Amino acid sequence: MSETAQQRNEQARRSAQVAIERLHAEPTGLVRYESHGRVLIIGDQPAQWLAARLRTPLHAEVLWLGGEEEPGVPSTPLAGRRLQLSGHLGAFRVELGEPGSHNHQVLQADLVIDLGAAAQIESDIPPPGYWHFGVEPQDLDAATMALDGMVGTFEKPRYFDYDASICAHARSGQPGCSQCIDACPADAIISIGESVEVNPNLCQGGGACASVCPPCGTPTRPRRIWPSACARCCTLI
């Protein structure tokens, strides 16, 4: 992301934060996650150590970033390949290398513990099931605690109700508004041509989208164009 785009996002998120505090979220449904306990731990020796410590129903695999590999724990070496992590609790996907290349590989996991120096997911609100920890003993204890009870079926409210017919994102190939995309701290909203798409598994109801969406207006200065891109706004009518 360019520095200008990053500054624009930070400004959008700051503005949204001010407005969010006045919003009240009404769930519009439920989102379900299914975790079978497959844990991917990204790192080197501390990752091996943590993986060996986990017990059934958790099953750990290490994505090995470097150093001497120790036997006894299932590991996949990064081996200099590009790493792309996406997904959420119960459905993480790790792509290693370039698609089509001889060493391209895809790993899947329900939960991800990232012990790398830099987080693989940098969202202000990371997806459920992903944690970035340090490698000190207390960090590894915290990682173990985070995984406790993370097997089974989980539900959370669905917070949005997007209406593409009033969205000003783009028309006839002309780019328009992208305020919700810039403001979302969970990076849950993407552009899909003339409209935007909200990933319900990543959306955690922060409300930044509703607070910056022009058709929605704001709680204190509602505009005439109502029914909104976000259910939060509807609760304010």
Which residue ranges make up the site for ligand SF4 (CB under 6 A)?
A: 167-169, 177-180, 196, 212-215, 229
CB nearer to ligand SF4: pick between 41 and 183: 183
- Least distance from ligand SF4 to the Cβ atom of residue 222, Å: 14
- Least distance from ligand SF4 to the Cβ atom of residue 124, Å: 18
Residue written as token pair 């508004």: 177
> H or E segment at 10?
helix 3-20
Give the pair of three-digit tokens for residue 154.
């989980």
Q: Are 124 and 182 in contact (CB under 8 A)?
A: no
Cα separation of the two ends of the chain: 36
CB nearer to ligand SF4: pick between 62 and 213: 213
Q: Which of 25, 27, 24, 23 is nearest to 218 (CA)?
A: 23
CB nearer to ligand SF4: pick between 51 and 208: 208
CB nearer to ligand SF4: pick between 58 and 236: 236
- Least distance from ligand SF4 to the Cβ atom of residue 166, Å: 7
- Least distance from ligand SF4 to the Cβ atom of residue 126, Å: 22
- Angle of helix 45-53 relative to helix 137-147, nearest 10 degrees? 40
